[in-house]
Amino acid sequence: MRQGEVTVLLGRWRQGDALAFTELTPLVYDELRTVAGAYVRRGMGNGLQVTELVGQLFVELLQMQRVSLQDRRHFFVFSARVMRNILADQARAAKAEKRGAELEHIPLNAELGWVGPPTDPATLDLEAAMGELEEHYPETVRAVELRYFFGFTSQEAAEVLELSKATIDRQVRFALAWLNCRLHPKN
């Protein structure tokens, strides 16, 4: 991929060039599959396969109007958010079918991984906690998304967000502690 090619295509798409999205798709598809794979491996797939999740992402992106994605970084961060929303919507739908199911808090290990099998209500707990964290610390949520949902290293996340590796590490440690407190309040 040539430097800036995704940014150029995003600009064309933003200006209404439908062909630009068609050209963009093969350039970003493998990386989006990696992100979707991370969600599925963490048990957040809610029965979706990687290809289905990426497909739903593309459907969502095509249905959106007035999305102003500025560059490659913005596109991938936004795409991770849309995937998370797709999974949260599916979890909500599954919970609605069960009517009255109690929400379970998901235990987080030091790597924001699951301890035991996740359930759909647990996915909702994490989604709600991430949303709450984002209200106060949006840049920190971007760092967590890149590190754990995209699978970026701290250095890669730092480059994408144009921050230092130390800042990314600090933001992620803070987010893990904050999420752990939010999901496991002391009685």
Burial group, residue 60, by CB count within 10 angstroms (0-12, 13-18, 19+): middle
String of b and e for 8-30 (b: at least 16 CB within 10 Å)?
ebbbbbeeeeeebeeebeeebee
What is the domain range of residue 112?
Answer: 5-183
Structure pTM? 0.56
Name the token pair of 75. Answer: 């596109």
Q: Is the dihedral of CA 92, 97, 102, 107 positive or negative?
A: negative
Note down pLDDT in tens along the chain; length 187 residues: 565 898 899 888 888 888 888 899 999 999 899 888 887 777 766 677 888 889 989 888 888 866 778 888 888 888 988 888 888 777 776 665 554 444 343 333 334 443 434 444 445 577 788 888 889 998 998 898 888 777 778 888 888 888 999 999 999 999 988 888 887 777 4
Looking at the structure of the chain, the number of domains it has is 1
Contact criterion met (CB below 8 Å) for 141 and 133: yes
